[in-house]
Structure formats: structure tokens, C-alpha cells
Structure 1
Amino acid sequence: MMAASKQTSRGRNDGKLPAEVTSFVGRRHEVAEVRQLLSASRMVTLTGTGGVGKTRLALRVGQEVRRAFRDGVWLVELAALTCPSSLVPAVAEALEIRDDCTASRPAALAERLRGKQALIILDNCEHVLDSCAVLVETVLRSAPEVRVLATSRQPLAIPGEQTVAVPPLSLPCQQDGIRSVKELTQAEAVRLFTERARAVIPSFAVTDGNGEVVCGIVRRLDGLPLAIELAAVRLRALSPRQLLDRLDDRFRLLNGGSKAVLPRHRTLQALIDWSYALCSDKERLLWQRASVFAGCLDLEAAEAVCCGDGIAREEVIDLVIGLVDKSVLMREDLCEGVVRYRMLDTVRAFGWERVESDRGREALRARHGGYYRRLAARARANMFGPEQLVWFRRLQGEHTNLRAALEWSFTTAGQGRDGVLLATDLLYHWITSYYLAEGRYWLGRALESQAGQPADRGRALWAATWLALLQGDVQAAYALLEEGHRLAERLEDEPLLAYMRMYSGMVAMWDGRSGEAIARYRQALPRFRSMGDPVPLALGLLRLALAHSNQGEAEQAVAAAEEGLALCEAGQDRWHRSYTMMVLGIELWRQGDLERATELERRSLDVNRSLGDVLGEAITIEVLAWIAGSRRQYQRAARLLGVVTGVWGMVGAPLSGYGHLAEYHDACVRRAREALGCAAYEAALRRGAGMERGEAVAYALREGRAAPRGGAADSGAGPLTRREAQIARLVAQGMTNKEIAASLVIAQRTAEGHIEHILTKLGFTSRAQIAVWVGEQGRAGAGPDSGDSGDSGDAVEERRAGGAVS
């Protein structure tokens, strides 16, 4: 029978788990998830790449659920097994079952466990996977009160098995930036590095001086606990900066693990070697080839880049599944229903080192670059129509791969033309994301390369002109247009000349010469109509409408905008339609039709939000600020101006890039400042600037409550940051992590990290406690549920500021 390793006075047996030698950091969400699954299922497997912390998580769960198992929680360490036939005896020995009949028969061992109420933790099953599957299924059938928690780099694939993919530790959020040491140290990876560093240097602390370096270290190590622990030990001899600088050679640097563990767990190199050994020959080959991808990849990309020379195209899907099962590739789901796969940078570097030769690496880079050149061309062909949203998001998800393809093109002999075409095909990607400056950089390299055909250069010239204008760099735009006109005339290229005329109109609008702009647009539009390409036609019509509006020619402005809207609706285009609605809204605002103008701007903003177009969001929120000013809602106007002030700087596109629109901005600022007074105006401006992107868009759309006013979370007096207070409200509304992430336009993992921070700060263990706390704060009038809502809240603020509200 199972021996009593730790027998209590009531006959309980707590089993045999090792004591924790070092502190357990983070993983609150994962522990809760595994505990919940174990309460409903008898078989749970923790999967994940080597070094991600599966064993520590399993042991922590075992410690926490120990009281629920009368006959204890038992750890069975399988890593040292050298052959499957040793499995049953090893399990029997770990469970302290002294019976020779269990030496090799799973059924005999299962019989000895009948009637026992125990949790068995099988650690490191991957190298004896089939034998583990047979044993566990036999035990679960024979012993109905036994549960199994396994750790493995791939699932056991038996009936009833629940799997939990253990992610790396949470990292500091890149999108929100590092605002304080306190927020930085809330990231699990930073906390682990700090605690292990203190074991080496007791005085170590994360400070303003080293916070960015520590953040860089844990990011370079992908948040892998083993890698972080190995790196922290190196602080005996290196400063954090020196450590970060040497992480390019991470496999040599991180080789000093504990002598108390198996050799393959002592170094990062050995740990990933172990994963590599578990793969088939073709899986290893796919691992090597997939390491050419700089970011995520999908099945289509894997088939295009990784097949051939030993891997048939139809085999790729099964090999990808195999690498996902072995936790080499990590699955990520996108909202369009497309599955993508991510490889940790450490795993990618390992695979790249095993590509046989420089020639092999260059061949992979060539296939990678060619694939993304074709992908960008397909995106450009679908940039007007029903597939537009899919392509916008796809390019955003492929940004790091696109960047790698561009770099390869411009640094490899004979590939310059591909670089020119790729940079120009990505024009809308540069505009609709955060990449205006980067787009100008790549287009600049394209023009410097002198590669490609003259027509290719012409496309690059007008694309670079648009980006220069968006950034307010009119001198550069003039120079680009001058060369473009000369080239178009020399080539007698009428389409190129039409583009140059349209962008000349944009420059004229920037200078306030709207009459000249109208003339330029009217020269270009007939050619665009004859080309049959709706993209320049839609762009020219919305620009023409804007110019007529500035001239005070309302009828012509509305006519041009309505023609553009009809064109977009016929082609099911959303992006050009949203900008055309924005322009029409400006004209209706100028006419005093504030209700229709507001509706158009909100519809435009909603589309831009769905497309992820930050620049479009900023322009539309700017117009909504002007409308609020016309309604004498000066607090709201100032807050919206605060929102867009930060966005203009973030995307690198000053409002001056839209020429005369800056005049409307200045007028709105002047009226709001005069109505509120300098102090109140600046306070409202700061509140707007402090809003997170999702919160700001929701406020502009009048969705839900506005930002908290006067509460603890807003003033800084309470325990939560503004973002945490916002998420606490959404938790209280019953939203899931996925719903919260979608609402705030953040990653689900980021939302989960914020919730862990909330639980830690408030000392809670459940979401229900958060909901109760939010309600209590709201009743007290000083918490995350307090604040204004809708126009009534703005009206209250107007009265406080002494302004009139219509």
C-alpha cells in the first residue's frame, strides 16, 4: 500500500513534495486556472517550452491543493529515466509502493492505487510520452479518486486530458511604456530577476537608472524563468548593462546552473538541446527554417518559405502541429480566425545556429524576402474593397517580418528593386499604423538605392511625398514633387503625372492656397477616372471636398464628398470612406449642423478604431473637439484636445500636416482657454492626455463612463493606476479577459497581467472581490466607479469652470 510519508494524527497522508528553496514569483492566474481545471477534470497537463516554469507551477498547485487529497500529493520526477520500461517502477518508487508485482505492469500499479484519494504529479513526461499515456489512462480507469497533473513539452493525448499552455512570465508593457519603477517591478519577469539578483547582490534594486536595462534583459530572455535565473547569477561579475550587451551570445553566457539538477537543466543550451532531441528529423529541419521569421508566422508563410529540399509542402502542416505539440512553436489566435505561431527569440536563435551553412541561411532569407514582397503586392491589390480590414491587420501582425525583408532587400546585391517595390506597396501600412517615420526611412532608402525601373522610382517619389506632408515636412515634399514632375514629363507617364498633380494640390493646401489645390485636383481626377483605379480617385475626391470646404464652397464640397462616399460604398471600402465622412463632417460643422457632423465623425472614428488607424482616430477626435467647442462644452473640448495632442506626437504627424485644419485647432484652443481660464483649461488638457487610447476613443464616442474624476484612481491617492482602475471597472461589469482586451485594444496577456497586479495590490484572490471593491468605492464616491457620464458630466464641469453650456 501507499506509505505514509507525512502522516497526520487524523490519518491523513500529505504525500511527498519538495520544499521550495527559492521564492515563487507571479503565476497567480495560471495557478488559479490549473486549480479550477483539477476540480473538474482528473487529468491536467501543463505544456510549454523548456525553462518556462512548468515544474514550479505544478509544485505550487500541489502545495495549494494538498488538503483536498486525503492520501496526499506526490511528485514523480521522470527526467532521469533513460528508457520507457523504467516508468512503472519509477512511479511506484516515488509513491513509496513497496510491491514487486508493480515492477513493470501498469495495471498492477493502478490496482494498488484503487481506493486512494491522491494527486500524482508526473514531471517531465515528454521523452517517455507513450508509456506515460498508457500508465495514466490505466490508473484513471482503475482508481476513480486519483487525479494526475503532468508536465510535458507536449500533451499526452489521452481521453479527458485538459491542457494548459504555460506562457513565459509577464513582461513590462511596451505599448504603455515604463512610467515608474513601481509599475516596472509589477511585471513578473522583472520581479523574478530582482529577487534572484538580490541572492547574488543583496543591495540590488531596480531604479530609474537601471530600469530600462533590466527591462531589456528580461525581454531579450523572453520572460523565460530559467534564462532569467541563469542571467541573474552573472551579476556576480557583470553589471546589468554589461549583461544586456552580452546576451547576443546567450547560450555561452548562460551556462552556470545549479549542480543539484540534471545536466540538461543547468544551462539554456542544454535545455533547448533536449527539446531538439525530442523532434523528428523533419521537425528539426522545419525548426531551423522557421527561425528565419523575425516575428510570428502563419501556415501559409511556413508552407511558402519552409518547404522543399526534404520537406514536401503537404507535410508542413503536420510538422507545424508537431512543433506546437512540443512547445517549440506557440499558437496565437487572431480575431479573423487565422492561427499564427510564435517562436521565442531564444528558441529562434537556437534554430538559426543549426542552419548548416551561410549559403543555407542566405537561401532562407531570399525565400523569406520573396514571400513578403509578394504578400505586400497582394495587400496593395486588395487595399480598396471588402478585404481591406483583413489586410490592414495582417500587415500590422507581419511588421517585424516586413522590416526584416526590407533590410535584406537593401543590403543584398541585386535585390534593390524588390526593396523599392516592397516599401511603396506598404504605403497604407505606414500611414495607418505607428510607422510614418519608419515608412519615410524605408522610402528614403529606396530612393537612395537608385534601383528598379523609372516607373518604380516615380511611385516611390509620390509615396514619400505623402508621408512627408503628413509629418509637416513641406520642404522635403517640394523637393520630391519637383523630381517627380520632371520624371513624369520625361517618361510621358500620364498616371504618374496625375499623382504628382494631386500631391501638388496637397502641398498647396498645406500652404493655404486652396484655390490652386482645387485646380490641381481637377487636373488629376479625370486621369484617375480613366485609369479605373478607385484608390487615387477616392483620395482625390476627399481632398477636393476638403479644399472646396476651406474655400467656403459648400455645395461643391458636399458633392465631391458624396461622390467619394458612393465610390467607396460600391467598392465596400472602409478606410477611404471613413476619411470622406470625416471631411463631410467638417463641412457640416462649418455650416452649423452639429448633430449630423457629430454623427459622421463618430462613424468615422468607429471605423478607424476597427482598422487600428491611430492617425485617423486622432483627426476625427480633433474634429469632435471643435464640435464640442461650438457647443460651448469647453471642458470636453479641452479634454479631447489633450487626447490628440499626445497622439500627434506618438505617430509623428503634427496636425500642421493637414494645412488649414491647424487654424480650426488654434481657434478651438483659444475659445476653450478663454472660457475656462488657463488653470482649468490646462487641467482638462492634462486629463485628456492621461487617458489610455481605448479609454480616449470610448470617451470620444460617448461609450460607457468617462474617465474617473476626483476619485482615488484618478488622483493617485488610491492603490490602482488609471489603467488598473479602468480594468477593475470592466471586471466588475462581468467582462472576460478576452472581452477586456478587445475593448481596450490591448493584448489579452496584457489584460491578464493588469488583473494580477490589481489582485496583488488589493490583497484579493478572486474577481468577485474586485467587483465588490469597485461597488464599495462607487458608493463612497471616490473610486474607479465614480466620474462623469455622457454630456451631463461635461455640463457639470462647464458650470464649475464658469463656462456656458448650450
Structure 2
Amino acid sequence: MARTACLRQVGNLPADLTSFVGRRRELTEIRRMLSVSRLVTLTGVGGVGKTRLALRAAAEQHRAFDKVVLADLTGLTDPELVVETVAAAAGLRDQSTRPLDALSHFLAAQRTLLVLDNCEHLRDACARLADHLLRIAPELRIIATSRQSLGVTCEHQMPIAPLSVPEPDAPFTATLPQAYDAVGLLVERARAVLPDFALSQDNKTAVVELCRRLDGIPLAIELAAVRLRALSVHALVERLGDRYTCLTNGGLGLTPRQRTLHSLIDWSFRLLSTQERTIWTRMSVFPADFDLDAVEVICTGDGVDSADTLDLVDTLLDKSLLVREEHGGEVRYRMLDTLRQFARGRLSGPDEWAALRQGHRDYYFRLVDRAADEWIGPRQTYWFARLGLERAHLRAAMEHCLGQEGGAAGVTVATGARGVTEATGATGAMAVTAVTAGLRVATALAVLYWQPNSYFNEGRHWIDRLLAASPEPSALRAQAFCYGAEMAHVQSDEAAADLMTKEGLALAERLGDRRAVAHASRVAGLRVLTAGDWTTAISLLERSIAGYEGLRDTPSRIGIVIAMIIRATAATYLGDAQEADRLFARTLDLTEGNGSCRVWALTIGASNLWIRGDLDRATSIALQSLLLSRKHHDPHNVATSLELLAWVHAARGRHREAAHLLGVVEQAGDVFGASPQRLGRQVEFHEQCVAVLKEKLGAEGFARAVRQGRRCSVAQAVARALGDDAQDQGDQGDRRHRRDRGGEHAAHREPEDDSSPLTAREQEIAELIAQGLSNKEISSTLVIAQRTTEGHVEHILAKLGFSSRTQIAAWTTARKAGRRD
């Protein structure tokens, strides 16, 4: 049997859950086509195995490329988001207002294999994107899957036929599964449900007939194979023949192979119980993978008890009508697109579909509300990842709001806790139109998801569309204008930012809504600060801070921190160090338990300290920010912190290290689309740093150091900056060597404490600091360079949030006392 074991996971390609059977000729042909064409489109009927074949081809050829990227377009309905979806799959953020250019630049910088999966419903948008990328990125290769070709000039189309089947009178041989892929797949999948199943002289005729009846369509074979648990092959063929007789008039408008697949799915569907049929057809409302909780809420009722959901899902998995996946340890389920289309067609009618769409929308909108309620606290990291998993569902929910005629379909939402009320202080519940509900969720996602992830283009896309659909004046509309302005400002789209800021502030003041005025004043303050009017900025920001005081909803708690960070920066620019320090200390108090805000408070605080020339504190705070950014997977802030450390190195005369870090930051911008936020004076500081480094290293020396930095991964640079790099590993090796020699210091070391935030070497140095040793004495004791010791002490201060050796000594002594107790 032509069978291939599961490959290890490559890039963002999903790991194989079952063995790959057959298709060796097709894989060879795809490899050949990619050598002569840069776009190969696999076409064929649904269920023929286009996706599986494309993924296998990509996985087998990954060594020929720097990067392999899968962009699954199954759940996407809006052609305007194709570029953003592909960019996100590649690991890019969309800080640029020209995401297509950013994606093109990223792909042009390396040899990439891009898999565009399920393009048929977005054919024109996919064709335009593929054509553009192939013109810009000479090393790019694309494998696309679609039910029809994309129509791009350089495209090579490869029709994917069903698996090969033998003739009815083919002689029985032991190699029949190897000779005919359809037989091989059936035998392989049959063994998954019946381990003792084997092809024999007795069942050979029935196996061949079954494969022929199913036209060699892989999905049909997979569905039929699970029935062998209850039926013999002969009985399965007999029942399948009866079913076809009953369905000869059913598949109007379908090709013969489509009728075959349609009939097979219908047969599997009719074998389900009433409850199984009902819940499965309702699951067609999910555009992408989903979890059990969503099924329990959206798909139950009217004949399906929520208590039965798990058993029903388990049955559908067993019958291959659902696919089980794991994402970050969370179990989720997916329905193949072919099956989803069939299931949707088996709903009772448009009323049931409309009710499911509304239930889907309400469920995911409530999910956003829960994320907002729990954002500031220990579950922030969970919600950050969860919203990413639900991206396709949130898109579908907002699209549904825009599709409601006149916004008539109302939603009842809780208010008061999340900063989306129409009047200050309103509580309880209120009924809102569908479009208003969509705008409310869009403003929440701006805070919780789009801005933290740097998905600015997508955030602006939805806010712009929802604003256009809900022109009535409201506090929510004013806030939405401000979030749109904020994202436009980060993208340096100043014209749009100015226009939206003015509209948002004017509307907020006219309505007199405290929260909206506070938010609009903050955004306006940022705008004028960037323009260099620091005095006016301070006035606006103080108004914003005063408006936020006392408000407990998540956007307000985040808004006041941002306003204070910006206000502290204005104070720094005006030389008011005392006020800047007071505001920075206050932001640290307010961001306890709010990692996404705290990292930016730390970064901007470090930047302000650098401006004032306090390099030691700037380094310590920047390292704290870098550590927290790594923990929260914030690539944008990682890049910003590394740039700040480059400025510090330059100021300290470590010119080559500074240039090296700038190269790392450039590479981070290419990989993550997360180049530092260089607005206003930040651009000036960056250019000053570059000018100094070119003067000290020479133009060629600077360029060489930057190139070296670009070859260093961001993870390596962060590890080195935080002190847990190869140097530290070498020091640990020295320590092990000394311990093996029975050295006095090693013999008296306290055991390593896993709960400490410090590395083993940092813990060792902290204990020596507690004993009163100087850096020189520590270096002599540990037989390491004094500069290495100084670096470790800086890292200890940063990780613990301390500013003096005395604090380190007190902390170490307290921990040792606690262990003795």
C-alpha cells in the first residue's frame, strides 16, 4: 500500500492526525510543476482531497524554503480581509496602512512557500493577491486549492482526480492496495475501526465494488469506512446500492461525482439519530473550528438537550462527520467545508438559519463581554489567546450585524460594566440594534485584540463599516471615532487620525458623556503631543485623566493608564522630572495584574528616563518591560524595548552592540510587522542614534553590524539582553565544574529555588550581594569577568523591580529565612 507515516508539524501547517495514503504520482507532479511554475492550483470536486494533498506537498518540500505558510480561507467571507488573513498566517501584524506592501516586502525577503487553501468563494481576491505577490517576490511559490482555477497568467492548473480504483475483474493479489490508492485508503481506514481487517479473496470483490461505487473520492471512502464497525463490506455495498437507487432523482445540477459524494453524505446523514441530525446541521453555523461550550449554547434546545451535547459530539466524531483538533491545549472541533455545505442545506429553512446566525452572534458577543470583564487580572493571557482563536467567529458575527436590514434585529446586552452605555452611569440591560451591538463589540476589540496584536487595518475596517451603518449621534459612536483615530495615528495616517479625532471629540462634548469626553481628550492629547504642542497636550491629557477617575470599566481603566503615560512623556519633554516620576509610579500601581498595559508603561517610562540621561534606571526598566513582553508574546513591545536598549548602548559607547540591536529590530519588523512605534520625537531619537553609530563605526562598519543583527533571531536577542543566553549557560557549566572539584563555594550553595524569577547564576550572585560582596569580589569568587557580573546585577534589578543592591540583599535574606521556616 502506498502509505506515508505522519510527518512532524512544519511551520503553521497542521500536524497529520492520520497516515497519508497514496498520491505519490500527484506529489511528484506538484514538485515538478513548482520547479517550472510559481503558482500551482489544485482543482477538483469537494472531498477529492485537495487540501490534504497540498499540505502534504508543502510539508515534504519545506527544506527547500525558508518559510512555509498556510492561509486557510475557509471561514472568511469578506474579500477585503484576504490580505490581512494571509499576512496574519505569515506572522505579520498590520501596522502599515498598506498591508499588501508590507506582506510583499516580507515575502520578497525570503524564499517562501505559501499555501492558499479553499479559494473558490474568494476567487477574484485570491487571484489579485497571488498575481501581485508573484510579481513582487521573486522567490515566492504558491500552492492554491480551489474548485476552479484562479485565472492568473502564470498559473499551472493541476486537476486532482479521485483515487485510482481497479476494474471489476481485477485479479486478487496481495499488492492490490499498493496498486490502487482507493483500495489502500479503504483498507487503512477500515483497520482504524477494525484492527484485524484485511483484504482477502473472500472480500476482494466487495472492496473493489465499494471503491468503484464511491468513485474513489477520499472523503466518501473515509465516511464509508467507519460503517465497517457495524456492517460487513458486502452488506455495506448492498445498502449503498439501495441508497443510490433511492437518490437517483436527487442531485439535480450536480456532476456524477458530486452526486456520488452527495449521496454518500446523505446516506451517512440518514443513519444518524434525530438528535444527531439536528445538532449536526445546526453546527453548520460555525465558519471555523469551535468548542463544546459554543455547541451547547448555540445548537441545543428544540429537541436537543444541552446535557447530551458531549455524547452527541463524540458520536459525530466517531462517524467522521466532525474533526477534532487541539489549539494550545484546548480541544476544538471542525466540520469539513463540503460537509458544512451539505449540513446547511438540511436545515429546516431560512428561519432556522436566521435564528442560528443570531444565536451565534449573541454568543460570541457575550464572549467579548466576558473577556472585557476579566481582562485586568490573572486571565488576561487566556483571553488574549482565546480571542485569537475566535477571530473567524467574531468576523462572522459583525458581518451578520451589518447584514441585518435596517439594523432591525435587536440584541439585549448588559451595560455599565464595559464602557459601552449610551448615557453616563447607566446600568442594567438595554435593547440595541444589531449594528449598534456590532459597533459596541468593535470598540471593545480595539482595546482587547486589534491594538495589542497590531491588527490596525482590520480594526479600522470594521469600525469604519459599522460607523457608516450607524450614523445616529451617540457616546458609543464618539468612542468608536476615537479608537479609529488611535489606530490611524499609530499607522501614521495623520489625515484620517485628525479627522476622526475632531469628530469624536466634538460629538463627545456635545453629548456631555464623561467616558467619551475622557477618551476623546486622550486621543486628541496624543495627537498634539506628536505635533510638538506639549502644553496643549498636557491640558487635554489632564482633562482625560480627570474624566476617567472613578470609572471601573475595562476601557476606562486602560485609558487612564495610557493618558498618564502620555502625560508623563509631555512632562519629560518639558523638563519636569518630578511630575514624570510621579505619574510613572502611579501607572505601575494601576497596572498591577494588567500585563498588556504594564509593558507599555514600563517601556515609555524607560524611554523617558533615557531622555533625561538616567541610563541605569532606563536599562533596568527596559529589561523589566522586555521580560514581561516575552511572557505576554507582545512582539511590538519587544521590538520597541530592544530599540531603546540600542539607544542606551549607543549612549554608553557600546556602538557595535547598539547597531547589532538595531539590526535585530529591523528583522523583527520584517518577521512580525512589529517595528517600533516611531512617532513624533521617537523618529528623531532613532535618527540621532543611527547618525552617532555611523560616525563612530563608519558607514560600512555600521551596515555590517546591522546585517549581523538581522541574522540574529529576536528570541536570541531577547535572551541575551535578559542574561539567559549562551554566556550564562557557559557560566553554569563552570559552576558545575567547580562543584565537581569540591570547591568551597559550591559546597555551601543553597539549593536552587524553582519559584525564584532569577536564573541559577543570578540567584548565586544575589546571595553574594547579600553577603556584602562588591562586583569585583563577586567576579573573583565566581571566576568570571567583572563586566559579566555587572550585567547579571542589572538583570537581577530589572527582574525584581528594584533600584539598589540593598533591596536585593533584603529580598535574598527574606527568601532564605522563609525556606528555613
Bin of the TM-score, shorter chain as denominator length: 0.5 to 0.7
1:257 aligns with 2:163: yes
CA distance in 2, matches of 1:530, 1:180: 49
CA distance in 2, matches of 1:207, 1:476: 30
- AA in 2 matched with 1:481: T
Aligned to 1:486: 506
Distance 1:412 1:53, change over 3 A: farther
Q: How does 1:754-765 map to 2 (within 5 A)?
A: none
Distance 1:595 1:299, change over 3 A: farther
How far apart are 1:405 and its partner, in Å?
Answer: 1.8
CA distance in 2, matches of 1:466, 1:208: 31
Question: Percent same amino acid at aligned positions?
Answer: 29
Report SS of the residue matched to 1:297: coil
Distance 1:574 1:209, change over 3 A: closer
Deviations 1:557-615 (A, max 9, x none): 1110101111222xx22121111111221233234443332232122122223323232
CA distance in 2, matches of 1:425, 1:470: 18
1:379 aligns with 2:371: yes
CA distance in 2, matches of 1:469, 1:238: 36
Distance 1:577 1:346, change over 3 A: same
Report SS of the residue matched to 1:632: coil
Q: How does 1:721-760 map to 2 (within 5 A)?
A: none
Aligned to 1:192: none
Q: How does 1:292-691 map to 2 (within 5 A)?
A: 292-335=285-328, 338-413=330-405, 414=407, 415-428=434-447, 429-450=449-470, 454-532=474-552, 533-569=556-592, 572-648=593-669, 655=676, 658-691=679-712
CA distance in 1, matches of 2:617, 2:306: 54
CA distance in 2, matches of 1:265, 1:181: 41
Report SS of the residue matched to 1:215: strand
CA distance in 1, matches of 2:493, 2:576: 28
Confirm or deny: 8 A CA contact 1:272 1:347 kept in the other structure.
Answer: no
Confirm or deny: 8 A CA contact 1:472 1:656 kept in the other structure.
Answer: no
Distance 1:656 1:343, change over 3 A: same
CA distance in 1, matches of 2:656, 2:275: 63
CA distance in 2, matches of 1:521, 1:457: 21
CA distance in 2, matches of 1:573, 1:344: 38
Report SS of the residue matched to 1:266: coil
Q: TM-score, normalised by structure 2?
A: 0.57
How far apart are 1:668 and its partner, in Å?
Answer: 1.1
CA distance in 2, matches of 1:587, 1:181: 36
CA distance in 1, matches of 2:219, 2:318: 21
How far apart are 1:211 and its partner, in Å?
Answer: 8.6
CA distance in 2, matches of 1:212, 1:348: 32
Distance 1:353 1:621, change over 3 A: farther
CA distance in 2, matches of 1:354, 1:682: 63
- AA in 1 matched with 2:216: R
How far apart are 1:425 and its partner, in Å?
Answer: 1.1
Report SS of the residue matched to 2:591: helix
Report SS of the residue matched to 2:608: helix
How far apart are 1:506 and its partner, in Å?
Answer: 0.2
How far apart are 1:374 and its partner, in Å?
Answer: 1.6
Instruction: Tell me the number of residue pairs that the alignment of Structure 1 and Structure 2 aligns.
Output: 525
How far apart are 1:461 and its partner, in Å?
Answer: 0.9
CA distance in 1, matches of 2:19, 2:629: 40
How far apart are 1:701 and its partner, in Å?
Answer: 3.5
How far apart are 1:349 and its partner, in Å?
Answer: 4.4
Confirm or deny: 8 A CA contact 1:434 1:614 kept in the other structure.
Answer: no
CA distance in 1, matches of 2:350, 2:513: 43
Confirm or deny: 8 A CA contact 1:431 1:615 kept in the other structure.
Answer: no
Confirm or deny: 8 A CA contact 1:305 1:364 kept in the other structure.
Answer: yes
How far apart are 1:688 and its partner, in Å?
Answer: 3.2
- AA in 1 matched with 2:282: R
How far apart are 1:270 and its partner, in Å?
Answer: 2.6
Confirm or deny: 8 A CA contact 2:6 2:19 kept in the other structure.
Answer: no
Distance 1:577 1:680, change over 3 A: same
Moved more, 314-323 or 388-397: 314-323
Report SS of the residue matched to 2:549: helix
Distance 1:515 1:577, change over 3 A: same
How far apart are 1:243 and its partner, in Å?
Answer: 4.9
- AA in 1 matched with 2:698: G
CA distance in 1, matches of 2:670, 2:318: 43
Alpha-carbon RMSD across the aligned residues, in angstroms, is: 4.1
Q: How does 1:18-57 map to 2 (within 5 A)?
A: 18=1, 20=2, 27-29=6-8, 53=19
Of 172, 175, 180, the residue aligned with 2:90 is 175
Distance 1:326 1:550, change over 3 A: farther
Confirm or deny: 8 A CA contact 1:655 1:662 kept in the other structure.
Answer: no
CA distance in 1, matches of 2:284, 2:787: 53
Moved more, 611-620 or 208-217: 208-217
- AA in 1 matched with 2:90: Q
CA distance in 2, matches of 1:407, 1:431: 20
CA distance in 2, matches of 1:642, 1:312: 58
Report SS of the residue matched to 2:285: coil
How far apart are 1:210 and its partner, in Å?
Answer: 11
Report SS of the residue matched to 1:339: strand
Report SS of the residue matched to 1:257: coil
CA distance in 2, matches of 1:333, 1:411: 32
Deviations 1:440-471 (A, max 9, x none): 11111122112566122112111111111111
Distance 1:243 1:379, change over 3 A: farther
Deviations 1:615-657 (A, max 9, x none): 2222222212212222222233223223333545676677565
Confirm or deny: 8 A CA contact 1:369 1:408 kept in the other structure.
Answer: yes
Confirm or deny: 8 A CA contact 2:5 2:20 kept in the other structure.
Answer: no
CA distance in 2, matches of 1:167, 1:285: 33
Report SS of the residue matched to 1:402: helix
- AA in 2 matched with 1:375: L
CA distance in 2, matches of 1:183, 1:513: 45
Distance 1:353 1:628, change over 3 A: farther
Distance 1:379 1:628, change over 3 A: same
Report SS of the residue matched to 1:216: strand
Q: Give unpaired runs (5+ residues) of structure 2.
A: 10-14, 24-51, 60-67, 70-88, 92-105, 118-133, 167-181, 183-210, 227-264, 408-433, 728-784, 792-821
Aligned to 1:11: none
Confirm or deny: 8 A CA contact 2:7 2:16 kept in the other structure.
Answer: no
Distance 1:25 1:268, change over 3 A: closer
